[in-house]
C-alpha cells in the first residue's frame, strides 16, 4: 500500500551566503542544481519565483551606482530591470519619487502579483519617505497600486525588511530589522500598525556574530519571517539571535506588547538566520 507523508517546517537561510557565489540556482527535477543567472558587482538580498516560473531579484540601496532595484532573470540569464527601467532609475542617485523604487530590500511573488518592499531608507541613513509596498500585476507587468505605511507603523530609523501575504486574514506581515518590531498591513481598509515594538521577542539577542571567523558587529533586529498557512502561524526571528518565535495569526491584533507577548511562544533555538521560508515536503 502506498502511503504519503508530509513534513513541514521553517527553513532558515542566509541570503548573503546564498549569493556569495554571485549566482542564483534552482533545483531541477533530477535534483541537480541549474544555474539560471550570474551577476557580479551587485548585491542581491531577495529572490522569488512566480507560479509560472519567472525569477525576480532585488538589489538594496546600500551604495551609490546600483544598477537596478528589481530585476527579472530571463531564460538566457540576463538581469532586466522590472517592471521597466523608469521605475528603477531612482536607486542609482537615491532620488525620491513616488513612482520609483528607492531602497528595495525584498520581493515576494504571490499568485498573480509581485510585492516590492521599499524601505525608503537609502544607505541606512534614515527613512526619507514612508516605507511602502509596490504591487505589480504580473500579467500586465504594471504597478497596480502602492501600499503606504501609516506614520505609527514605522520609526525614523526603521528598515522594513521582509514580508508574507496572508490570504485568510487579508493582511501582510512585515519585519523591521533596524527598529525591532513587526508591522501589519490590513488590505481590507488599507491601515497599518506595529506589534511587539521593541519587545524582547523582536530584538537582537547578541551584539555580534561570527561570520566565517570574522566579527559582524551590527546588531540586526527582527528580520526573518515565515507563514504557515496550514496552521495559521506566523514565525519570526532576529538575525542577531538564536530564538525562533511564533504567534497564531488569529491572535495578531493592534494591542499592547504585554497582551500580545502572552500569545507569543518560542518554538526553537536555531543558528542565526537571515531569510526564512515555511516549506512542505511530501514523501510518497
pLDDT in tens, 193-229: 999 999 999 999 999 888 888 888 889 999 999 999 9
CA dist 229 to 75, 269, 282, Å? Answer: 31, 22, 16
What value, to the nearest 5°, has the Cα angle with vertex 39 and ends 33 and 43? Answer: 105
Average pLDDT in the 33-50 region?
Answer: 92
79: which 3 cell numbers? 538581469
Lowest mean pLDDT among 26-30, 37-41, 105-109, 280-284: 26-30
More confident residue, 279 or 49: 49
Is pLDDT at 2 greater than 60 in this prediction?
A: no
Distance CA(113)–CA(141), nearest Å, equals 9
Give start and end residues of each alpha helix (H) in 178-246.
none
**pLDDT tier at 17 (50, 70, 90 boundaries)?**
very low
Is pLDDT at 16 greater than 50 in this prediction?
A: no
pLDDT for 10: 60
Is pLDDT at 116 greater than 90 in this prediction?
A: yes
Distance CA(51)–CA(126), nearest Å, equals 35
* Sign of the torsion formed by the C-alpha atoms of 256, 259, 261 and 263: negative
Distance CA(118)–CA(129), nearest Å, equals 10
**pLDDT tier at 34 (50, 70, 90 boundaries)?**
confident
Distance CA(187)–CA(172), nearest Å, equals 8
178-198 pLDDT, tens digit per residue, is 999 999 999 999 999 999 999
**pLDDT tier at 259 (50, 70, 90 boundaries)?**
very high
pLDDT for 11: 59
Per-chain mean pLDDT for the chain: 89
More confident residue, 68 or 208: 68
**pLDDT tier at 118 (50, 70, 90 boundaries)?**
very high
Collapse the DSSP code of 17 into the 3-class scheme (helix H, G, I; strand E, B; otherwise coil) and give the result. helix
* Nearest residue to 246 (alpha-carbon basis) of 258, 256, 259, 261: 261
258 secondary structure, DSSP code? H
**pLDDT tier at 281 (50, 70, 90 boundaries)?**
low
Average pLDDT in the 136-141 region?
Answer: 98
168: left (phi over 0), alpha (psi -120 to 50) or beta: alpha
Q: Model-level pTM?
A: 0.89
Is pLDDT at 26 greater than 50 in this prediction?
A: no
In total, the chain counts a number of residues equal to 284
Is pLDDT at 13 greater than 60 in this prediction?
A: no
Look-up of cell digits 490570504: 167
Amino acid at each position: 500500500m502506498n502511503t504519503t507523508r508530509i513534513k513541514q517546517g521553517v527553513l532558515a537561510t542566509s541570503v548573503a551566503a546564498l549569493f556569495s557565489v554571485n549566482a542564483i540556482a534552482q533545483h531541477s527535477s533530477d535534483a541537480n542544481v541549474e544555474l539560471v543567472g550570474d551577476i557580479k558587482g551587485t548585491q542581491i538580498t531577495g529572490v522569488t519565483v512566480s507560479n509560472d516560473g519567472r525569477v525576480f531579484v532585488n538589489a538594496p540601496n546600500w551604495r551609490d551606482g546600483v544598477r537596478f532595484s528589481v530585476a527579472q532573470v530571463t531564460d538566457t540569464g540576463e538581469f532586466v530591470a522590472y517592471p521597466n527601467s523608469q521605475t528603477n532609475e531612482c536607486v542609482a542617485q537615491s532620488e525620491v519619487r513616488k513612482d520609483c523604487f528607492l531602497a528595495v530590500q525584498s520581493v515576494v511573488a504571490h499568485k498573480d502579483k509581485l510585492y516590492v518592499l521599499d524601505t525608503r531608507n537609502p544607505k541606512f541613513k534614515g527613512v526619507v519617505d514612508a516605507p511602502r509596498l509596490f504591487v505589480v500585476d504580473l500579467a500586465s507587468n504594471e504597478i497596480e497600486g502602492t501600499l503606504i505605511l501609516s506614520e505609527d507603523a514605522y520609526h525614523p530609523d526603521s528598515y522594513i525588511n521582509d514580508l508574507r501575504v496572508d490570504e485568510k486574514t487579508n493582511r501582510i506581515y512585515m519585519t523591521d530589522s533596524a527598529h525591532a518590531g513587526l508591522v501589519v498591513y490590513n488590505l481590507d481598509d488599507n491601515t497599518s500598525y506595529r506589534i511587539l515594538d521593541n519587545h524582547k521577542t523582536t530584538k537582537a539577542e547578541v551584539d555580534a556574530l561570527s561570520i566565517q571567523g570574522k566579527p559582524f558587529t551590527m546588531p540586526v533586529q527582527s528580520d526573518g519571517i515565515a507563514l504557515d498557512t496550514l496552521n495559521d502561524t506566523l514565525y519570526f526571528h532576529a538575525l542577531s539571535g538564536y530564538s525562533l518565535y511564533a504567534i497564531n495569526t488569529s491572535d495578531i491584533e493592534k494591542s499592547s506588547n504585554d497582551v500580545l507577548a502572552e500569545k507569543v511562544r518560542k518554538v526553537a533555538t536555531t543558528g542565526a538566520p537571515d531569510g526564512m521560508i515555511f516549506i512542505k515536503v511530501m514523501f510518497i
